[in-house]
Amino acid sequence: MRDSRMRLWVVLVVGIGLAVVATAQDGALTPAQIERIRSDFQMDAHARAMRNALTSTGIRDIAENREILAAHNKQFSHKIKTKGISNQKSSGRCWMFAGFNTIKPVVLNKLDLDDFEFSHIYLQFWDKMEKANAFLEYMIEYRDRDIQDRDVVFLLKDPAPDGGYWENFVDLVTKYGVLPREAMAETASSENTGMMNRALSRILRKDAVELREVYKETGSVRKMREAKPRMLAEVYRVLVLNLGEPPQEFAWRHKAKDKGDKDEKNEADEGEDEDEDGDKAQDEENGDEADEKPDDDYDVEQDWSELRIFTPRAFYGEFVGLDLSQYVNVADDPIRPKGGHYEVQLTKNLYDGQNAHYANVDLQTLKDLVVKVLLDNKPVYFAADVSPDQDSKAGIMARNLYDYESIYALEMGLNKTERLLFRDSTINHGMAFIGVDLADGKPVKWLVENSWGSDRGSGGLWTMYDDWFVDNVYNIIVHRDYVPDEVRRVLELPAEKLPVWDPMW
């Protein structure tokens, strides 16, 4: 009897276990389902043609819409005068390059220059230092949080990243000023940041471990903070070895603006040409190479301004002088109600700086603001998702530039809100609008200055068709004087806090 009960008990336990296993496996891909899918698939003429094409040619080449390419033109009703194309190369500094591209025309116009570029590496250096300091402070601030806390995980994943936001650019320029390109040149590590970032990340994670151990042993925030100077000194050493040491002051001159004096000088010299030619002929008879020109690297004929000494902040004040605190972030966030003010946590690079924050407006307001500023001959910083529908060779951004639905004979469409919420889209690149093509007062396409060098796009520029703007542009930066009163009032409201893992940012 006892044995029978034991056997019954074993059967019941095994039976319950099997039931649990069967329940746990519900939803698994079964052989029967695979067979049904296999038998339902039809290799029709379209599928066979696409298979042959896709197995021998890149998908993008097949999917590109030739009708859009054929209809494309580079005509714009309004274009801002700017010169030079920058190149961020293998670094995530697009936000910084876009910021500089927005203020560069001020210097070009003020000094009437044919070429000018800011030193991106200078701001990059201080951006890394500030992010390292902010990371260490967050490790102190979050000392009691679990190591798997989502904010802590975000910080540990990339302690001092390349990426950033307009607000980061403003805080850096305000605190550290700017340099011309000649005062601090790019290095291999500034242009390709991968290995430098890996070293910085390892050092800062090691520091995070030490800070937690100090707190565990002493319970003292003061002791944690006392360790910071040594940690930051190590970061500074890594940055100097990779990027060079930023100058506290520098000597700089620019090509002279006053062309009138130069023209008058040329006219005065015209009477001497005959004698000079005669001397030249005599020198040639004597075998002298009087017509030999200096090396092109040495510009000895150009008039130059006086050589002067600047600090980075004094240079910004004299040659740029914009009050960047007066520029505001305006976005088309389709997830949240319009008319709200939102702030994204953990997006500041200076620990005492500002997070990215924006007024949420409708898309038409966003477009109207860009047109208004462009027609006033000023560029506009903006951020977008550059992943879909852009051809880097032709410099085109247009809706359905790549028709994947026709290739696969499947529906693949999502609206802007769905793409954000389901992580199909996010802001991932900053650029500058420098032109617009208007027809009956409405934008048909937009001219974009990128930071991927002159070999990509159309000499470094992109044509963005208006439907691509609708689908992929999320926020712009404009001076508050252009913004409607109701939007300015929104920016005065207390900001609703958003987590750093928000899908748009």
| The pLDDT value given to residue 394 | 96
Alpha-carbon distance of 148 to 173, in angstroms, equals 35
All residues at 6 or more sequence positions from 292 whose CB lies less than 8 Å from its CB, including other chains:
none
In this predicted structure, the answer to whether residue 266 has a pLDDT above a threshold of 70 is no
- Which carries the bigger pLDDT value, residue 409 or residue 289? 409
Using only the alpha carbons of the chain, give its radius of gyration. Answer: 30
Alpha-carbon distance of 76 to 89, in angstroms, equals 28
Record the tokens describing residue 366, joined without a space: 């966003």
Domains of the chain (ranges; CATH) run: 78-251+320-498 (3.90.70.10)
Q: What is the pTM of this model?
A: 0.87
Q: Where are the alpha helices (DSSP H) in 219-311?
A: 221-226, 228-243, 259-269, 273-285
In this predicted structure, the answer to whether residue 500 has a pLDDT above a threshold of 50 is yes
- Which carries the bigger pLDDT value, residue 97 or residue 11? 97
Record the tokens describing residue 31, joined without a space: 């052989």
Q: What is the average pLDDT across 429-457?
A: 98
| The pLDDT value given to residue 256 | 77
Overall residue count recorded for the chain in this entry: 505
Query: Is 332 within 8 Å of 484 (Cβ atoms)?
Result: no
| Type of residue numbered 251 | A
pLDDT band at 303 (very low <50, low <70, confident <90, very high): confident
The CB density around residue 79, as the number of other CB atoms within 10 Å, is 15
Alpha-carbon distance of 383 to 139, in angstroms, equals 29
Query: Is 191 within 8 Å of 91 (Cβ atoms)?
Result: yes
| Type of residue numbered 452 | W
Condensed to tens digits (0 to 9), the pLDDT of residues 139-163 reads 999 999 999 999 999 999 999 999 9
| The pLDDT value given to residue 1 | 52
In this predicted structure, the answer to whether residue 502 has a pLDDT above a threshold of 70 is yes
Window from 213-217, 267-271, 352-356 with minimum mean pLDDT: 267-271
- Which carries the bigger pLDDT value, residue 181 or residue 285? 181
